[in-house]
Amino acid sequence: LRTSTGCRTCNSPSSPSQLAALERQVFDFLGYQWAPILANFLHIIIVILGLFGTIQYRPRYIVVYAIWTAVWVTWNIFIICFYLEVGGLSKDSELLTFNISRHQSWWSENGPGCVRKEASMSGIKGLDNHSYISVIGCALEYRYIEVMHSSFQILIALVGFVYACYVVSVFTEEEDSFDFIGGFDPFPLYHVNEKPTNLLFKQTYL
């Protein structure tokens, strides 16, 4: 397989993108946010595909990654709108958990400065085994933390898109130049006809 020596550093933006996605995946798992978990998993797979395409000289895989970055940006814009409650969305809805559970973002109870308190509800009929959880003292609301996460993902995705376009253009130029010098020509430029040599050999033998 032919690799490009001029683009060995072109896959560098994919590494922080993958690390950021893994970090986000961990906190989404802790918060049981099933929709973001699936989106993060798919994003990690596409990033690995883009890395493979860069290393193994597969421009089509890089194009797939470039297309996915547009989808990824759209998804993160939706997450920002969800937590900022834009367009009728509500951050308290169960949309991100597929209505399976009432869990919210992990940062809602574990954000910077947050203090989690539980109060027993034994005095209320039918709720003896339940407790009321209150969170106080948060230095920053969890929705703003989620917005910052999504904004960072958008920034990395845009950088990755630019680099993907650059790598594809470089690979295309190298492929065109390789074709121009006869890289895929079944008959080399310096092909020598062997027929005169054979005739000369026969004359010498006679």
For every residue of 22-50, DSSP letters joined together read HHHHHHHHHTT-HHHHHHHHHHHHHHHHH
Chain centroid to Cα 42, Å, comes to: 8
Q: Which two tokens stand for residue 103?
A: 């869990």
C-beta of residue 49 within 8 angstroms of C-beta of residue 58: no
Beta strand residue intervals within the chain, DSSP E = 115-120, 131-136
pLDDT, tens only, 74-120 = 999 999 999 999 989 999 899 999 888 888 899 998 999 999 887 66
Contact indicator for 154, 77 with CB cutoff of 8 Å: yes
Question: Taking the model in full, what pTM does it have?
Answer: 0.74
Kindly state the DSSP code that residue 90 receives in the 8-state scheme.
-
Q: How many CB atoms lie within 10 A of CB 179?
A: 11
Provide the 3-class DSSP secondary structure of residue 191: coil
Per-residue pLDDT of the chain (206 residues; tens, 9 = 90+): 444 444 544 544 567 788 889 999 999 999 999 999 999 999 999 999 999 998 888 899 999 999 999 999 999 999 999 999 998 999 989 999 988 888 889 999 899 999 988 766 555 555 445 555 788 889 999 999 999 999 999 999 999 999 999 999 998 887 766 554 554 444 444 444 444 445 444 444 44
Residue 203 CA, distance from chain mean position: 70
Q: Where are the domains of the chain?
A: 8-105+141-182
Nearest 5°: the CA angle 3, 4, 9 is 115
Nearest Cα to Cα of residue 20 among 38, 44, 3: 44
